[in-house]
Amino acid sequence: MEVLQSVLSLIITLGILVTIHEYGHYWVARRCGVKVLRFSVGFGKPIFSWYDKNGTEFAVASIPLGGYVKMLDEREGEVPPEELHLAFNRQAVSKRIAIVAAGPIANFLFAIFAYWLMFILGFTVVAPVIGSVDDDSLAANAGILPKQEIVAIDGNVTNSWQSVNMNLLNRLGDTGEVALTLKDLGDDTPSTAKININEWLAGQDMPNPIEAIGVHPFRPLIPPVIGSVSEGGSAAAAGILPGDRIVAVNGKTVDGWMGFVEVVRASANATLMVELVRDDTIVDVSLTPQKKVVAEGQEIGFIGAGVQQPKWPDDMIREVHYGPVDAFGAAVGKTWDDTVMTLSSIKKMIEGLISVKNLSGPITIARIANTTIQSGLETFLSFLALLSVSLGVLNLLPIPVLDGGHLLYYFVELVRGKPLSENTQLMGLKIGITLVVMLMFVAFYNDLLRL
């Protein structure tokens, strides 16, 4: 079921972003007087299609991993003499530049819209308050203490652990100082701590920058209370119900939810005598955790039950909400920050400071898309915006076969007064296809490893 949900999430996500990107090309092409033959979302054989009054075929194809806009062009087939003025290749170089650039620009505009809508709707975040600091860590050496809130990193406001993580990710591979602005709970007086880094986390696979500096987010004490029970699981078979509070296992008092989890994980196929409280009554049940094999063949026990979510302190819950005008400014700023981070990551990857194992393909995108859709509209909008920015940036890279490669050819033509030779363009196209196929292979291979 989860696989099907992930596939559907991937189709929805890529369908939205590809449609936006290709519509940018289509919209500008039509206004530049170019005849559009086909607007396709997906590759391969069309599942269904229709024609508009201008003769453009709109199609949804069977392979949902991209799309294209096919325009009238003498390089791709014979063009009737009466339609030569409608051919893409007959347009002025300035119009061709506008048409090609319109796709990535549409992605950036969509990201701004998605962030704007997210800020308008508003969302709730948990303040990035530090729960503990590892001894002799980067954070400890900088004088950072538990119960301090991280309010900014390098001058960028951080209102959640997600924004802390994104700002720290932006410093991967860097050498120098990371400036953290902190404040104690209940005290608005800020202080600054500087963390010294040297090619920080360079080359590491899937780095966790928050843990790397030695801090752990504050979490409220999680009592051992059952929040949900899955059908067919060991907990359901034992008669455990939502709302039950675990008191002891095999006669030993349980210390919080994580203490109970540790016992269960270490007891695959072993019978546990569980004492619990239900409606102020002590109930004893016999529980046998099922065996589950995880990474590297490790066997753990699981019972098919979830915890009742604890209540966060009111002073740690923040509502983020903007008016229409302020939301637009925040959306533009967030889109710009995402663009800079994406370009910086590409540069560091080329320099070897960020491992290519961090590249993600369709499997990872599908899994994240599924998670964000289940998490709520604002989370999905944020994911769509970030992915749209990445798509826009990648398409503008000066690699032949991508939009950026075509733009490179047209700018050279603008300077030279004539286009590059067909042989030069063909050679560039072959190089571009090779690079793109290699990147796709690496991304897909990384996806399989993560599985």
Query: Residue 273 pairs with which residues in a beta bridge?
Result: 286
Give CA–CA dist 441/362, Å, rounded: 11
Q: Is the dihedral of CA 211, 212, 214, 215 positive or negative?
A: negative
Give CA–CA dist 113/121, Å, rounded: 12
Contact 432, 401 (CB under 8 A): yes
By C-alpha distance, which of 1, 7, 2, 21 is closest to 384? Answer: 21
Residue type, 251: G
Give CA–CA dist 70/303, Å, rounded: 54
Give CA–CA dist 161/128, Å, rounded: 5
Contact 71, 37 (CB under 8 A): yes
Residue type, 192: T
Element containing residue 58 per DSSP (H, E): strand 57-71
Give CA–CA dist 249/242, Å, rounded: 18
DSSP 227-273: EEE-TTSHHHHTT--TT-EEEEETTEEP-HHHHHHHHHHT-TT--EE
Chain centroid offset of residue 398 CA:
24
Contact 304, 234 (CB under 8 A): yes
Chain centroid offset of residue 183 CA:
29
Contact 20, 71 (CB under 8 A): no
Catalytic sites, residue numbers: 22
